[in-house]
Chain A
Amino acid sequence: MSEFLQFLFSGLTVGAVYAMVALGFTIIYNASEVINFAQGEFVMIGGMSSVFLLSAGVPLPLAMLAAVVIAVGIGLALHALAIEPARGASVVTLIIITIGASILLRGLAQVVFDRQFHSLPAFSGDVPITIAGAALLPQTLWVLGGALVIVLALGWFFTRTLTGKAVMATAHNRLAAQLVGVNVRFVLMLSFGLSAGIGAIAGVLVTPITLTSYDVGTMLALKGFAAAILGGLGSAAGAVLGGLLVGIAEAMGAGYVSSEYKDAIAFVIILLVLFFLPRGLLGGKAAERV
């Protein structure tokens, strides 16, 4: 029992990270149908900026806040400089642009920051909490709590505010949204800012556990994309569910089956789910276009 619980804690910790990356994918996808391959770089920017601001003498809370602001700025810049000028281009073309942006941001990070690994101090210390024989780090609670707050806040934003509703309208039918006066361009800009912010918050929260470096983004984007697909593209709840499931599958795979093939186990599960539910677990919206 204690080992099962331990694996579950591990899965939830890692899964919460994937979930937040997946949320970022979902938001941009809903506004544009584009899979933003630079999503993982926002997580990196959040983590690395906090590390460097902290070492420059900025107090931790302020450094983290600034890191999120920086990431949002970069997200907005990405939209203004790379996505907006390519308006009207095919979705695949836009995806390649985000791949270019991911390479560019990684390249910039190694010049502006460095190529070393870095860590942040845990917010509430390193003393593990023992629950039924399984050890849980306090930081994991921060990560899970952070993910929960983001999900709730997004839920409120998309259903209770006019701007949020405009985003949802755009996601459902772009043309119709435009016709009823939604500024689609603004919605897209907002999505990039929002998604960059969420990525950066994830980066700030997880760096004390997972460490960070200029190139952590690639793997996170890969896993986050897998999570978003598993949950069903376009569904925020699906993204979170997918993220946690991928994380738990990896942990259980490593614990019970084989640590060498734990990633393979996660991907086999995703493939199987897709064969039976071609739009993921909670994906209702059709994704016909490529």
Chain B
Amino acid sequence: MRVPLPSDDWIADPRRGGLALLALVLVVLPIFLPNRFYYDVAIHAGLAAIAVVGLNLLIGYAGQISLGHAGFFGLGAYGSAVLTGTHGWPPLLALLASALVVAVLAFLVGRPILRLRGHYLAMATLGMGLLIFMVITNERTVTGGPDGMAVPALDIFGFSLSGRNKQAWYALVALCLLLAVWLALNLIDSPVGRALRALHGSEVAARVGGVDVAEYKLIIFVISAVYASVAGSLSAHYGGFITPDAVGFLHSIELVTMVVLGGMASTYGAVVGAAVLVALPQFLTAFHDYEQVMLGAILIVCMIFLRRGLLPSAIDLIRARRP
């Protein structure tokens, strides 16, 4: 398949052109998915991409690292699982309620945490994620503990969407992803987004320029947490079963890796990063005992040669080729 080269206006206006291209890819992709397994990988990639697009707002645009986003992802997932499974709430309501709780939590912890900088911020978010992980693992009566818990099928307006119905889930996740990207692009283009970019450049300069730095960082932190929460809720319903692995430190690291691999401050890069890192292990099974060696090596090589991330570096290359 030959992807048409993106023109310069596409890069200049990612909201229209880029979104159309992403939609096109998402529509065409099923033609190349021979069976349910490939759908499964695509759906997983899509769900991860939603969380990563949100995290990229924080890392790529606001320049704030978070090593605890799996905590928000997990709260969304477990929130949905417990509210629908144990308490019989409608899934959509459970998803929104979980997202609201996550937003409030992010708002409360965000204020003190975001005063920290660099690696100290990384540590604080890491600690926060670990605390969420420990509560979920230890409170067995609610969460099922380390062995996890079952999650009922997603039920929207009386239409039950079991995780086995791959086509329907693909369509749903594709729509959610498009929505997530569209919202993110709008946000980046809003006054908040412009202030954020100033912030990424130099926080001091932004502050001098009259930007309420703390306020904007907090807004973005909350928004990115909600992205993770929604992705978590959806992924819990899709899988039908959830374990604390989804909340763990390694999952947080994975999400950050997706952002950087795809390309920081590139919303489409985030999607690419998520897709590559989800699909890669499936290809690497061919290496059997050397799976992890290959994964590590690929990560290192990509970051050395495409250090700005897969998508931005690829666009640079394409641009450099053309006069």
A–B in direct contact per CB < 8 Å: yes
Residue ranges of A at the interface with B (Cβ–Cβ < 8 Å): 29, 35, 37, 82, 85-86, 89-90, 92-94, 96-97, 99-108, 110-111, 218, 222, 225-226, 229, 233, 260-261, 263-264, 267-268, 270-271, 274-275, 278-280, 287-290
Among A102, A233, A274, the residue within 8 A (CB) of B296 is A102
Cβ-defined contact, B260 with A93, below 8 A:
yes
CB B211 to nearest CB in A, in angstroms, measures: 17
Q: A264-B131, A290-B117 are in contact. List 16 more A-B contacts (CB 8 A).
A: A29-B119, A37-B253, A82-B300, A82-B304, A89-B303, A92-B264, A96-B303, A99-B253, A100-B295, A102-B296, A110-B292, A233-B119, A268-B131, A274-B124, A280-B120, A290-B64
6 A-B residue pairs with Cβ-Cβ distance under 8 Å, sorted by A, are A97-B304, A100-B295, A107-B295, A288-B203, A290-B65, A290-B121
Q: A100-B299, A226-B127, A290-B64 are in contact. Are A233 and B290 (CB under 8 A)?
A: no
User: Once the chains bind, are B118 and A275 in contact (CB under 8 Å)?
Assistant: no
B250 within 8 A of A: yes
* Interface residue? B190 (CB, 8 A): no
Residue B138 at the A interface, CB < 8 A?
yes
Task: Verify if B123 is at the interface (C-beta below 8 Å from A).
Answer: yes
Within 8 Å CB of B119, what residues of A?
29, 35, 229, 233, 287
Residues from chain A with a CB closer than 8 A to the CB of B249 are 222
Judged by a CB distance under 8 angstroms, whether B251 is at the interface is no
Residues of B within 8 A of A233 (CB): 119-120
Chain B 111-148 residues near chain A, CB threshold 8 A: 112, 115-124, 126-128, 130-131, 134-135, 138
Given A107-B291, A274-B124, A290-B118: A86 and B134 interface contact (C-beta under 8 Å): no
Q: Judging by beta carbons under 8 Å apart, are B123 and A270 in contact?
A: yes
Among A261, A270, A287, the residue within 8 A (CB) of B118 is A287
B: number of interface residues (CB 8 Å): 48
Smallest beta-carbon distance A59→chain B, Å = 31
Interface string of B177-220 (1 = CB under 8 A from A): 00000000000000000000000000100000000000000000
* A287 CA to B65 CA, complexed, in Å: 13
- Supposing A107-B292, A222-B249, A270-B123 touch, asked if A100 and B117 sit within 8 A by C-beta, the answer is no
Q: Which are the 9 A-B pairs with shortest beta-carbon distances?
A: A104-B296, A107-B292, A100-B299, A103-B296, A107-B293, A229-B123, A100-B300, A89-B307, A267-B127
Say whether B82 faces chain A, with CB atoms less than 8 Å apart: no
What's the A-B contact tally at a CB cutoff of 8 Å? 133
Query: Known: A92-B264, A267-B131. Is A274-B300 also a contact (CB below 8 A)?
Result: no
B200: nearest chain-A partner, CB-CB: A290
Which residues of chain B from 290 to 319 have any CB-CB distance to chain A below 8 Å in the complex? 290-300, 303-304, 307-308
Given contacts A93-B260, A104-B292, contact A289 B299 (CB under 8 A): no
Complex CA gap A63/B298 in Å reads 32
Task: Select which of A90, A106, A274 is within 8 A of B123 by beta carbon.
Answer: A274
Give min CB distance, A279 to chain B, whole Å. 7
Is B257's CB within 8 Å of the partner chain A?
A: yes
Residues of B contacting A275 in the complex (Cβ-Cβ under 8 angstroms): 112, 115
Q: Which residue of A lies closest to B291 (CB)?
A: A107
| B297 & A92 in contact (Cβ 8 Å cutoff) | no
Q: Check: B9 CB closer than 8 A to any chain A CB.
A: no
Residues in A whose Cβ lies below 8 Å from that of B290: 107, 111
Q: Is B63 on the interface with A (CB-CB < 8 A)?
A: yes
Measured between alpha carbons, how far is A106 from B293 in the docked complex, in Å? 8
B289 touches A96 (CB 8 A): no
Cβ of A85 and Cβ of B260 under 8 Å apart? no
Complex CA gap A82/B302 in Å reads 11
Chain B, range 232-290, C-beta contacts under 8 Å to A? 249-250, 253, 256-257, 260-261, 264, 289-290
A90 pairs with B297, CB closer than 8 A: no
- The CA-CA distance from A99 to B257 in the complex, in Å, is 8
Query: In the complex, A264 Cα to B63 Cα: how many Å?
Result: 27
Tell whether A108 pairs with B120 under 8 Å between CB atoms, given A218-B250, A263-B130: no
Q: Decide: B116 and A278 in contact? CB cutoff 8 A.
A: yes
The answer on a CB contact under 8 Å between B120 and A229 is yes
Given A99-B253, A274-B116, A93 contacting B296 (CB threshold 8 A): no
Give Cα distance in the complex from A86 to B303, angstroms: 8
Q: How far is the CA of A279 from the CA of B118 in the complex (A)?
A: 10
Q: How far, in angstroms, from A117 to B126 measured CA to CA in the complex?
A: 28
Contact A261 B134 (CB under 8 A): yes
In the assembled complex, which residues on chain A have CB atoms less than 8 Å from the CB atom of B124? Answer: 271, 274
Distance A289 CA – B112 CA, assembled complex (angstroms) = 19
- Closest residue of A by beta carbon distance from B294: A107
Contact check, B307 vs A86: say whether CB atoms are below 8 A apart. Answer: yes
Point out the residue from A29, A96, A108, A268 that lies within 8 Å of B299, measured CB to CB: A96
Contact of B134 among A93, A222, A229, A263 (CB under 8 A): A263
Cβ of A220 to closest chain B Cβ, rounded Å? 13
- A182 smallest CB distance to B (angstroms): 24
State how many angstroms separate the Cβ of A21 from the closest Cβ of chain B.
14
User: Given B115, B257, B293, which contacts A96 in the complex, CB threshold below 8 Å?
Assistant: B257
Distance of A219 from chain B, by nearest CB (Å): 9
Give the distance to chain A from B290, nearest Cβ to Cβ, in Å.
7
Cβ contact of A106, chosen from B115, B121, B292, cutoff 8 A? B292
- Decide: A288 near B117, CB < 8 A? Known: A96-B261, A270-B123: yes
The docked-state distance in angstroms from the alpha carbon of A275 to that of B120 is 10
Docked pose: A82 CA to B261 CA in angstroms: 15
